[in-house]
Amino acid sequence: MAKILIIEDDKFLRELISQKVAREGYEVLDAVDGESGLKMAQAESPDLILLDLILPGMDGFEVLSRIKGDEKTGKVPVVIISNLGQKDDVDKGMAMGAADYLIKAHFTPGEIVEKIASVLSSGKDSAAAA
Amino acid sequence: MIFSRFSINGAVRFTGALLFLASLVSIYVAVSFAPVVALAFVAGVNIFAVSFLVFSVTRGFLLPLREIRNLVAGVKNAGFSGRVKEHGSSEMRDLARAFNIMMANAAEAQEKEREIERMKTEFVSLAAHQLRNPLSVIRWTLQVMLEGDYGPVPKKQRELLQKTFESNESMIRLINDLLDVSRIEEGRYLYEPAFKDIVAVVNSMADKYKEEAERRGVALLVQEVSGGVPLVYIDEEKIRLAIQNLLENALRYTPRGGRVTIELSHDTKEVRVAVRDTGMGIPESQQRRVFQKFFRATNAKSLDSEGSGLGLYLVKNIIQAHGGSVEFQTQEGKGSVFTLRVPLGKIESAPDAAGIRGISKGA
């Protein structure tokens, strides 16, 4: 069973997405800010991380760069879920190594779950090919 | 300064005929009399004094006055930042001083106005960003309920949830439009143009709206009036947004059984994308305001509550940024056609133009 780490500061959004992801049969971990999210990423080695960008304290871009910069977590696919929808933000996130960038207002939890499945399976494909 | 003033008095004493009143009128009188006075002097008095007089008038009045005139003429382009040198006769110095104070006040007022405009735009942008989170929460909640994650939803409740979901969607669209408008107004709406196949863009937009057109019972067609449309230098994302706005309007305001056609044509100067509908049209009295922010035709408002009134404002800004223009023809009850004209000019100046112009798309 794949393990998904959700880093999202909004309690309600975090719960909604956690429940949706858990319902699909994934194991769910969640963190309310960047610092605790990073710790969890290192301690729990999740298979995928859902990352919000606007977080209290360390922001999502910083979290992303630390995840990617750490050899223990560098290979874990990170899907950004944010309301920052500007092309600049999307480009920046993708350039920093995000697997995908979902704008909250344009995606529903169901679609996010589909995205998780497709990112996980493409990861498996490339692992198998390697 | 003192010298020039003294010399005027001296000159007046020499001629013994002319009195200089310290008013702007008298300067011109002096200037127009100068030749007359000169004649008198040539008749035997003192040529030196005349040149001195002319020189003094020039230094004391004309030069400072010309500086003020030049500054006033420049205000339109340079704003209120310029100041004049306070020199010349004492009257001219007073005038220059008063003029400089006036310029400073005007500059301050203008700066204040700009500041308010900036604050307004910032507020809209901040409010819009802040609204996106709660709107996302509502969207997500309604969606998981509609998907039956929390148990089956009876038909009537489903209908209401669906309607609420749609209202929320239009609110999200409004927020997105507002953010785009505030970006335009802050000058942060950046364009990244590249050579693109506009035929492909139009076809994919038509594909995107096929389903919605079917749902509304409206035929949606693409018509390539002229074949071989060349690549165009555009920001594809923005042009998509412009076409999207025209298509959404056309579909929204065309009754069941109607037809929406996207017509593509070009000549040596431009590519034209026209969205033609058989919809309700825009009342003549309101046609002037079509591209204004928040404009919505009265007949459109009575039909639904969806539009934000920002779509055509965005379209106009996007197309103008491409050096093009938007035109429309409309007849109430018969339909409208909105035409985007995007110039091909830039292609000719591009280094790799030759290859690009050769590419052609089949009709």
Strand B219-224 and strand B259-266: pairing? parallel
With a cut of 60, say whether residue B357 has pLDDT above it: no
B114-117, long-range: CB within 8 Å, 24+ apart, which pairs? B117/B185
pLDDT at B150: 84
Q: What is the pLDDT of residues A23-38, one digit of tens each?
A: 999 999 999 999 999 9
Interface list for A 83-102 with B (CB within 8 A): 83, 85, 87
Q: What is the rounded CA–CA span in Å between residue A127 and residue B3?
A: 92
Domain count, chain A: 1
For an interface test with B, the pick among A83, A84, A102 (most B C-beta atoms closer than 10 Å) comes out as A83
Q: Do B144 and A109 touch (CB under 8 A)?
A: yes
Q: For residue B77, name the pLDDT band (cuts at 50, 70, 90).
A: confident
Taking CB atoms and an 8 Å cutoff, what residues of chain A touch B141? Answer: 16
Copy the structure tokens of residue B206.
């038509």
Q: What is the pLDDT of residues B284-333, one digit of tens each?
A: 888 888 888 878 877 776 666 567 788 899 999 999 989 999 999 988 88
Q: Do B136 and A83 touch (CB under 8 A)?
A: yes
CA distances from A30 to A14, A98, A118 (A): 8, 18, 21
Q: For residue A119, name the pLDDT band (cuts at 50, 70, 90).
A: very high
Please give the residue range of the domain that contains residue A114. 3-129
pLDDT at B28: 60
Facing residue for B172 by CB, picked from A10, A20, A105: A105
Q: What is the pLDDT of residues B252-274, one digit of tens each?
A: 889 999 999 999 999 888 999 99
Residue pair A66/A57 in contact (Cβ under 8 Å)? The answer is no
Residue A57 forms contact with B (CB below 8 Å): no
Sheet holding B270-277, edge to edge: B219-224, B259-266, B270-277, B335-343, B325-331
With a cut of 70, say whether residue A129 has pLDDT above it: no
pLDDT at B64: 83
pLDDT at A60: 92
Average confidence score pLDDT of chain A: 89
Give rounded-to-5 percent helix, strand, coil for chain B.
Answer: 60, 10, 25
Handedness of CA B276, B281, B282, B287 (dihedral sign): positive
Q: What is the rounded CA–CA span in Å between residue B113 and residue B185?
A: 14
Q: Which residue from B294, B297, B276 is spatially nearest to B286, judged by alpha carbons?
A: B297
Q: For residue B190, name the pLDDT band (cuts at 50, 70, 90).
A: confident
Concatenate the DSSP letters of all residues of B31-47 into one string: HHHHHHHHHHHHTTS-H
Q: For residue B44, name the pLDDT band (cuts at 50, 70, 90).
A: low
Copy the structure tokens of residue A23.
């319902």
Copy the structure tokens of residue B146.
């509609």
Residue pair B18/B12 in contact (Cβ under 8 Å)? The answer is yes
% pLDDT > 90, chain B: 26
With a cut of 90, say whether residue A104 has pLDDT above it: no
Copy the structure tokens of residue A99.
């697997």
pLDDT at B285: 83
State which residue of chain A sits closest to B133, comparing Cα positions. Answer: A83
pLDDT at B26: 53
For residue A90, give the CATH number of its domain.
3.40.50.2300
pLDDT at B171: 87
pLDDT at B354: 33
pLDDT at B306: 67
Which segment of A35-44, B12-21, B266-275 scores lowest on mean pLDDT? B12-21
Q: What is the rounded CA–CA span in Å between residue B223 and residue B212?
A: 19
User: Is B154 or B2 the better-scoring residue by pLDDT?
Assistant: B154
Facing residue for B132 by CB, picked from A17, A105, A110: A105
Q: What is the rounded CA–CA span in Å between residue B134 and residue B140?
A: 10
With a cut of 70, say whether residue A97 has pLDDT above it: yes
Q: What is the pLDDT of residues B192-244, one digit of tens each?
A: 888 989 999 999 999 999 999 999 999 999 988 777 888 889 999 899 999 99
Tell me the mean pLDDT in the region A36-58.
Answer: 93
Q: Do B176 and A85 touch (CB under 8 A)?
A: yes
pLDDT at A50: 96
Coil/strand/helix, residue B202: helix
Facing residue for A10 by CB, picked from B133, B135, B172: B133
With a cut of 90, say whether residue A118 has pLDDT above it: yes
Q: For residue B58, name the pLDDT band (cuts at 50, 70, 90).
A: confident
Average confidence score pLDDT of chain B: 80
